[in-house]
Amino acid sequence: GLEDLEKECSLARIRLTLAQHDPSAVAVAGSSSAEEMVTLLVQAGLFDTAISLCQTFKLPLTPVFEGLAFKCIKLQLGGEAAQAEAWAWLAANQLSSVITTKESSATDEAWRLLSTYLERYKVQNNLYHHCVINKLLSHGVPLPNWLINSYKKVDAAELLRLYLNYDLLEEAVDLVSEYVDAVLGKGHQYFGIEFPLSATAPMVWLPYSSIDQLLHALGENSANSHNIALSQKILDKLDDYQQKVDKATRDLLYRRNL
């Protein structure tokens, strides 16, 4: 039908784009499927084109996000040559305004492109945030603050699980402690919590199983005084939380009985 014809046309057009950008890819691109083309485009740094191809063929954008995250990692760890080479593919993506000034490095621009995409292509269960964070942590690259902050707002519990998967206990402790504060009304907007704990607000649950897992991980190395301090920090927070929940519950019962 017409839709298939449109798909074929767009695939042909994209093959041409790739060939112009990277003549060595011509041999491979000639007969490749849409999925394979996405991989080739991502390798070449043609992310905008890869995204439009995914949208035409209703493919998930996961390989695009993973590929761009990987390029960010390589830039973060690479030298001058990597920077110079990156400007070429960065320019091929319609960033709202590619800043080719000396103040902004290619690394900054690549991160900016990634953050623009995460902002623009939101999906159910924040899959793309998750796959980017996973990619960075698996390469031992610290998460940029903007990424932590945007994920905290939508799924703090999942961020905690990712920290635990990679044994980032210190980050996990900080996150739990900020989250408890947020539930109690301090900085709740940073976690996307609409109503902090009160007698009239619905309950916000803490991710108890992950917190348990964290305490267990800290306890495994109990000779480490730093770990003991971290455990204590969490236990104090949970104590504080429990007292306030009890009070809110009492207030609620009191209001009901008025």
| Cα–Cα distance list, 160 to 20, 113, 207, 209, 229 (Å) | 44, 25, 9, 11, 19
Torsion of the alpha carbons at 28, 29, 30 and 36, rounded to the nearest 10: 100
Classify residue 216: in a domain, yes or no. Answer: yes
Per the CB < 8 A criterion, the answer to whether 10 and 58 are in contact is no
Classify residue 238: in a domain, yes or no. Answer: yes
Classify residue 194: in a domain, yes or no. Answer: yes
Classify residue 95: in a domain, yes or no. Answer: no
DSSP of 20-62: HH-GGGHHHHTT--HHHHHHHHHHHT-HHHHHHHHHHTT--SH
The total domain count for the chain is 1
Classify residue 2: in a domain, yes or no. Answer: no
pTM of the model: 0.86
Give, for all 258 residues of the chain, the pLDDT tens digit.
888 898 999 999 988 888 888 888 777 767 789 999 999 999 999 999 999 999 999 999 999 999 999 999 999 998 888 898 999 899 999 765 555 555 788 999 999 999 999 999 988 889 999 999 999 999 999 999 999 999 999 999 999 999 999 999 999 999 999 999 999 989 989 998 887 776 666 667 889 999 999 999 999 977 888 999 999 999 999 999 999 988 888 888 888 887
Per the CB < 8 A criterion, the answer to whether 91 and 48 are in contact is no
Residue 163 contacts by C-beta under 8 Å, 6 or more apart in sequence? 169, 171, 172, 175
Classify residue 192: in a domain, yes or no. Answer: yes
Classify residue 162: in a domain, yes or no. Answer: no
- Please give the residue range of the domain that contains residue 196: 168-258
